[in-house]
Amino acid sequence: MVAPSDQAKRALRAEIREQRRIVTSSERERRAHDLTAQLIHLTQALGAKSVATYLSTPDEPSTRGYIAWAHAAGLRILLPISRADGLLDWATYNGDEELDLLGMPMPTSEVLGPIAVNDVDLILVPAAAVDRRGMRMGWGRGYFDRTLGSMEQRPPVYAVIFDHELLDTVPSERHDETVDGVVTPSQIIRF
């Protein structure tokens, strides 16, 4: 039997996936430009010199312009690599990528292991939606929840979403992790 919160998550994820798929290419480009500016502003405001983020897929809010800026600015950039055991390894950004075991883009540089993320100044995570309490709803595999939940001392963690994905509430379960804020194309909100 599927729990009610799991059913609600599945329905909300499906709705968000559809909303993301129907965005026009010109709107997608505008959002990417605006989001990059917000991510740069956050990084500079926090004085971050090292960042853990992710290589966005075409339907996600784009982190690629931000990663290019961070790389050019000399920031240390760690990107996740999915493991079969449900944990995330990390590798530094080197400009090259391939697909990991889940078909997600990953860097081709040396794998550093799960604890490498403990040394960053800022963590940017993907999300399907986030509510105004900071509860993040991911895509259902739990990789980032396990990573964030295992950290004794974690730097600021911000979810990267589109504006309409900041909701009043999202379904959650005990294992779900909160974030410290969200970055959207139009704003940065700290909870």
Fold for the domain defined by 4-190: Rossmann fold (3.40.50)
**Cα angle for residues 101, 104, 109 (degrees, 5° grid):** 80
Q: How far apart are CA 149 and CA 155, in angstroms?
A: 12
Tens of pLDDT, residue by residue over 54-99, are: 999 999 999 999 999 999 999 999 999 988 898 999 999 998 888 8
For position 138, what pLDDT does the model report?
92
In this prediction, residues 115-121 reach a mean pLDDT of 96
Residue 188 buriedness (CB in 10 A; 0-12 / 13-18 / 19+): middle
For position 157, what pLDDT does the model report?
98
Tens of pLDDT, residue by residue over 120-176, are: 999 999 999 999 999 999 998 889 999 999 998 999 999 999 999 999 999 998 889
Two tokens at 148?
């964030």
Q: How far apart are CA 21 and CA 91, in angstroms?
A: 29
- The dihedral built from the CA positions of residue 164, 168, 172 and 177, taken in this order, carries a sign that is positive
pLDDT confidence tier of residue 3, bands split at 50, 70 and 90 = low
Residue 4 has pLDDT above 80, yes or no: no
Q: How far apart are CA 11 and CA 26, in angstroms?
A: 28
Residue 185 gets the label, from left (phi > 0), alpha (psi -120 to 50) or beta, of alpha
The residues near 72 (Cβ < 8 Å, ≥ 6 apart) are none
For residue 124, the SS3 value is strand
In this prediction, residues 175-189 reach a mean pLDDT of 96
Integer distance in angstroms from the first to the last C-alpha of the chain? 34
Two tokens at 105?
């883009």
The residues near 140 (Cβ < 8 Å, ≥ 6 apart) are 9, 10, 13
Q: How far apart are CA 93 and CA 77, in angstroms?
A: 6
Two tokens at 69?
């800026």
